[in-house]
């Protein structure tokens, strides 16, 4: 496919124009019930995603970061409708998904594709690479011959020679090669939004850089929009335009990547950033910014959910949950004391203050 063709295809699908967000999410919520109530038993639920609002703009890369259990992967699965949301509205380029007058889930899935962390588990071991890539287009009505041609073209584009790789099976490929196949497969339906859920996390460092370069190239060539989920803050900073920091199912902070990394407004973001291992032998980390593990999202504290680990907690924080509010241009934060955090006044929490869990 030539560049002009792909652009014209996107133009024809682009309904709201550049200014309309490609994806708008409002009040997204998913709770998993782990023990039902009744008969004197306490119901307990995992608040995996607990009211999340965000937009993904056309042509940008939105990074999502947070610790395990913060709801980043659940958010991705909800967007793909791999899980049914309890509440929430998802609008894809002006069209509500799965509602009357909107676009169907099937059509949305053609335009939104996903790449997962485990490159091996996400490929069918009994299908050759070529068949795997051609499968999606065939389901969506492209004939066999054309879908195979498309598969070979994509293989070439992700840097795997079709003559060498088209007939191989997943077990015959290395991790980096398999992830390239997954990316090719995601692109086979010519999506507009690609969700990358820890897509480079399992790769060796030297291969990770290759795949990041590939993603950058493909984004330019196809005019893609990325939702890039990762726990690696270095990689997120490199690839993203905007970053969303999640904590226990909520958005803690969201903003332009450089502004957010330079002056984080949420104590949690600040802690995450200073937990990155130092690359300077003369400036090793002397004190861990947070103590304890990420709490489980079952029994949430009242008020701000970061309270138990927050070095700046005060009484008012426990009373009311802070809303996500603007704290700069295109920078939002959910913290009452964001101004102080941005000014850099954050004490380090001592180990002895740790509350036993």
Partner 1 sequence: MSLAAAKSDPTAAILAPLVEITDLTVRFRTPTRQVHAVNGVDLSLDRGEVLTILGESGSGKSVTLRTLMRLLPERRSQISGRVSVDGQDVLAMSQRQLTRFRGRTASMIFQEPMLAFDPVYRIGEQIAETVCRHEGVSRRQGMARALELFELVRIPSPQRRLANYPHELSGGMSQRAMIALALSCRPKLLLADEPTTALDATVQIQILLLLRDLQRELGMSVIFVTHDMGVANEISDRIAVMYAGRIVESGKVEEIIGNPQHPYTQGLMASRASGAQRGQRLQAIPGAPPDLAELPRGCAFVPRCPQATDECLAAVPASRALSDTHWAACCRLGM
Rounded Cα distance, 82 and 84, in Å: 7
Stretch that binds partner 1, among 102-110, 191-199, 205-213, 323-331 (CB under 8 A): 205-213
Is residue 287 a contact point for partner 1 (CB under 8 A)? yes
281 binds partner 1 (CB under 8 A): yes
> Which member of 14, 55, 67, 107 binds partner 1 (CB under 8 A)?
67
CB 176 within 8 A of CB 210: yes
Q: Give the residue, chosen from 161, 163, 220, 285, that forms a contact with partner 1 under the rule CB under 8 A.
A: 285
In this structure, the strands spanning 87-92 and 95-96 are: antiparallel
- List the one residue from 153, 216, 308, 328 that touches partner 1 (CB under 8 A): 216
User: Which residue in 7, 131, 210, 221 binds partner 1 (CB under 8 A)?
Assistant: 210
205 binds partner 1 (CB under 8 A): yes
Please tell me the count of residues contacting partner 1 according to CB under 8 A: 53
Q: How far is CA 99 from CA 21, 80, 90, 108, 324, in A?
A: 18, 15, 10, 12, 27
Q: Is 118 in the site for partner 1 (CB under 8 A)?
A: no
* Closest separation in Å from C-beta 207 to partner 1: 6
The Cα 4–Cα 314 span in angstroms is: 57
Min separation Cβ 213 and partner 1, Å: 5
Q: C-alpha angle with apex 170: 169 to 175, nearest 5 degrees?
A: 145
**Binders of partner 1 among 174-203, rule CB under 8 A?**
174-177
Residue whose C-alpha is closest to residue 24's, from 54, 52, 46: 54
By the rule CB under 8 A, 234 interacts with partner 1: yes
According to CB under 8 A, which one of 88, 94, 292, 311 is a site residue for partner 1? 292
Nearer to partner 1, 2 or 280 (CB): 280
Q: Select from 82, 275, 326, 348 the one that contacts partner 1 (CB under 8 A).
A: 275
Is 298 a binding residue for partner 1 by CB under 8 A? The answer is no
Choose which of 18, 280, 315, 329 interacts with partner 1 (CB under 8 A).
Answer: 280
Q: How far is the CB of 34 from partner 1 (least distance, A)?
A: 14
Q: Which is nearer to partner 1, 104 or 234 (CB)?
A: 234
Q: Which stretch binds partner 1 (CB under 8 A): 31-39, 134-142, 148-156, 210-218?
A: 210-218
Residue recorded with tokens 């070529």: 130
Closest CB to partner 1 among 88 and 223?
A: 223
Can residue 238 be called a binding residue for partner 1 (CB under 8 A)?
yes
Query: Stretches 23-31, 103-111, 204-212, 328-336: which one binds partner 1 (CB under 8 A)?
Result: 204-212
- Interface residues with partner 1 (CB under 8 A) are 67-68, 174-177, 204-210, 212-213, 216, 231-235, 237-239, 257-258, 261, 271-272, 275-282, 284-294, 296, 351, 354, 356-357
């Amino acid at each position: 496919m030539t560049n002009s063709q792909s652009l014209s295809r996107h133009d024809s699908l682009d309904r709201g124009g550049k200014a309309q967000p490609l994806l708008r999410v409002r009040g997204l919520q998913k709770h998993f019930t782990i023990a039902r109530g009744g008969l004197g038993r306490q119901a307990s639920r995992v608040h995996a995603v607990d009211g999340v609002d965000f937009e993904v703009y056309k042509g940008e890369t939105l990074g999502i970061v947070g610790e395990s259990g913060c709801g980043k992967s659940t958010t991705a699965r909800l967007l793909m409708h791999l899980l049914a949301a309890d509440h929430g509205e998802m609008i894809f380029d002006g069209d509500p998904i799965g509602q009357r007058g909107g676009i169907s889930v099937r059509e949305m899935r053609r335009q939104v594709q996903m790449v997962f962390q485990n490159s091996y588990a996400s490929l069918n071991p009994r299908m050759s690479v070529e068949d795997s890539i051609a499968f999606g287009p065939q389901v969506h009505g492209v004939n066999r011959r054309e879908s195979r041609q498309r598969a070979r073209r994509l293989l070439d584009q992700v840097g795997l020679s079709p003559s060498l790789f088209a007939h191989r099976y997943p077990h015959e490929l290395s991790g980096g090669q398999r992830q390239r196949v997954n990316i090719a497969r995601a692109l086979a339906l010519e999506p507009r939004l690609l969700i990358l859920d820890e897509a480079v996390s399992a790769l060796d460092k030297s291969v990770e850089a290759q795949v990041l370069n590939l993603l950058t190239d493909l984004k330019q060539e196809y005019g893609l929009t990325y939702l890039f989920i990762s726990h690696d803050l270095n990689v997120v900073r490199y690839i993203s335009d905007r970053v969303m920091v999640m904590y226990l199912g909520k958005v803690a902070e969201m903003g332009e990547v450089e502004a957010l990394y330079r002056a984080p407004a949420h104590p949690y973001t600040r802690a995450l950033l200073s937990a990155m291992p130092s690359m300077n032998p003369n400036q090793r980390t002397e004190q861990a910014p947070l103590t304890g593990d990420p709490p489980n999202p079952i029994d949430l504290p009242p008020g701000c959910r970061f309270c138990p680990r927050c070095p700046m907690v005060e009484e008012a924080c426990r009373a009311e949950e802070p809303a996500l509010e603007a704290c700069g241009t295109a920078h939002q934060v959910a913290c009452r004391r964001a101004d102080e955090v941005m000014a850099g006044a954050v004490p380090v929490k001592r180990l002895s203050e740790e509350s036993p869990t």
